[in-house]
């Protein structure tokens, strides 16, 4: 089990990708059998960087942006290890991160998927453990009740802000910025659902692991840094709409037509209220540049939700 294939999907995230690959060189050791980078038709020199500075990496160049799920599946098809690490291009691994995750899988044969403790570039903890979405926690999430009353389990059961993230624990969802999966489990569960272009494929995969009888475990002694937005920041409005599209697809897949309607209604309320609030700030002269950008983002999301058209 002590051989890992690392799959990294990248889209116009050249410098993030460089740092990610450098951290793998420094920390992977003999545990890493291979690194597969799937480039989603980047135009910033990312594939040229990999080819020239990381010749040991297996570079797969796509002629189009395949999205997260399809590109990771393409990488998985090239992977030969008994353990499969799916790592975002804007992640830096700390020493012994992969080793500790692999040891956890060895210690727990009923666990199919593990994830590390993740901090942002500012050093603050990112919550990567979540509950599966349901009507209640989704309703709490959109008006930010899960943040306002973050220590109350009743309101924060989506992001689990109230959990003790200093000990190993089984979870329902592990954030998709960094996974280590057992190949045997992936063979049973299947690869990522390619209908999800970007977002919610992680929640869907985690649910399918659980449905197949595999446990998911958060491993805090393994640590990494996630900068966030390495690819999505290149086209924020597009990715906001893709997030909505993926959320609705997840609810349709697992909760049927009723779930789809509920998800769409909650999203309309969320973006409508935030569009109104930010519009007032802009009109009264209290809005910032970020507020103006968010105003355009909420408008585009509302347009898509109500008409199906993209701005």
86 within some domain: yes
Cα within 13 Å of Cα(76), Cβ side: 24
Find the domain containing 169 and state its range: 4-127+165-230
One domain, residues 172 and 83: yes
How far, rounded to the nearest angstrom, does the alpha carbon of residue 10 sit from its chain's CA centroid? 13
One domain, residues 253 and 107: no
One domain, residues 221 and 248: no
Identify the burial level of 195 via C-beta atoms within 10 angstroms of its C-beta, where 0-12 means exposed, 13-18 middle and 19 or more buried.
Answer: middle
Q: Taking a C-beta distance cutoff of 8 angstroms, is the pair 132, 207 a contact?
A: yes
pLDDT of residue 150: 58
Number of folded domains in the chain? 2
Beta-bridged to residue 85, according to DSSP, are: 6, 180
160 within some domain: no
For strands 215-226 and 111-119, give the pairing. Answer: parallel
pLDDT of residue 187: 97
One domain, residues 255 and 191: no
One domain, residues 172 and 292: no
pLDDT of residue 188: 97
141 within some domain: no
One domain, residues 120 and 243: no
How far is the C-alpha of 182 from the C-alpha of 166, rounded, in Å? 23
Q: Last residue of a domain, which of 197, 215, 230? A: 230
CA dihedral 62, 245, 193, 218 (to 10 degrees): 100
How far is the C-alpha of 192 from the C-alpha of 38, rounded, in Å? 15
Q: Residue 77 maps to which CATH number?
A: 3.90.550.10
One domain, residues 258 and 121: no
pLDDT of residue 301: 92
30 within some domain: yes
117 within some domain: yes
One domain, residues 90 and 181: yes
Cα separation values, 244 from 69, 123, 172, 228, 267, Å? 16, 29, 21, 18, 8
Give the global pTM: 0.84
pLDDT in 10s for each residue of the chain, 311 residues: 579 999 999 999 999 999 999 999 999 989 999 999 999 999 999 999 999 999 999 999 999 999 999 999 999 999 999 999 999 999 999 999 999 999 999 999 999 999 999 999 999 988 888 888 877 667 666 666 556 555 656 555 555 555 667 889 999 999 999 999 999 999 999 999 999 987 889 999 999 999 999 999 999 999 999 997 545 555 678 888 988 999 999 999 998 998 889 889 888 988 898 899 999 988 888 888 888 888 999 999 999 999 988 76
147 within some domain: no
How far is the C-alpha of 104 from the C-alpha of 285, rounded, in Å? 53
CA dihedral 248, 249, 252, 254 (to 10 degrees): -110
156 within some domain: no
One domain, residues 211 and 242: no
Q: Which two tokens stand for residue 35?
A: 């690194």
Work out the number of other CB atoms within 10 angstroms of the CB of residue 11.
Answer: 26
Work out the number of other CB atoms within 10 angstroms of the CB of residue 119.
Answer: 16
Beta-bridged to residue 216, according to DSSP, are: 113, 171
SS3 for 270-310 is: HHHHHHHHHHHHHHCCCCCHHHHHHHHHHHHHHHHHHHCCC
One domain, residues 119 and 248: no
pLDDT of residue 147: 60
Rg (CA), the chain: 20
For strands 91-93 and 83-88, give the pairing. Answer: unpaired
One domain, residues 71 and 11: yes
186 within some domain: yes
Angle at 27 between CA 198 and CA 36, to 5 degrees: 40
Identify the burial level of 224 via C-beta atoms within 10 angstroms of its C-beta, where 0-12 means exposed, 13-18 middle and 19 or more buried.
Answer: buried
pLDDT of residue 2: 74
One domain, residues 216 and 252: no
Q: Last residue of a domain, which of 178, 210, 230? A: 230
């Amino acid at each position: 089990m002590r051989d890992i294939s690392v799959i990294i999907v990248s889209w116009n995230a050249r410098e993030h990708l460089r740092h990610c690959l450098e951290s793998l060189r420094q920390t992977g050791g003999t545990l890493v059998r291979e690194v597969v980078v799937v480039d989603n038709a980047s135009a910033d020199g990312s594939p040229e960087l990999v080819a020239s500075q990381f010749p040991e990496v297996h570079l797969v160049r796509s002629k189009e942006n395949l999205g997260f799920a399809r590109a990771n599946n393409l990488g998985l098809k090239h992977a030969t290890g008994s353990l499969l690490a799916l790592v975002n291009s804007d992640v830096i691994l700390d020493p012994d991160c992969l080793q500790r995750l692999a040891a956890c899988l060895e210690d727990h044969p009923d666990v199919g998927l593990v994830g590390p403790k993740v901090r942002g570039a500012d050093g603050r903890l990112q919550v990567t453990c979540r509950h599966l979405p349901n009507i209640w926690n989704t309703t709490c999430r959109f008006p930010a009740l899960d943040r306002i009353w973050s220590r109350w389990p009743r309101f924060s059961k989506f992001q689990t802000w109230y959990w003790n993230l200093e000990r190993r624990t089984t979870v329902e969802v592990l954030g998709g910025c960094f996974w280590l999966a057992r190949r045997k489990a992936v063979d049973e569960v299947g690869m990522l659902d390619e209908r999800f272009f970007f977002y919610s494929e992680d929640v869907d995969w985690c649910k399918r692991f659980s449905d197949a009888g595999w446990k998911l475990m958060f491993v805090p002694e393994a640590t990494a840094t996630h900068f966030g937005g390495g690819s999505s920041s290149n086209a924020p409005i597009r990715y906001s709409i893709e997030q909505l599209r993926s959320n609705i697809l997840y609810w349709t897949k697992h909760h049927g037509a009723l779930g789809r309607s509920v998800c769409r209604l909650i999203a309309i309320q969320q973006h409508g209220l935030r569009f109104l609030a930010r519009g007032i700030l802009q009109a009264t002269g209290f809005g910032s540049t970020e507020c103006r950008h968010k105003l355009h983002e909420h408008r585009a999301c509302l347009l898509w939700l109500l008409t199906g058209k993209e701005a």
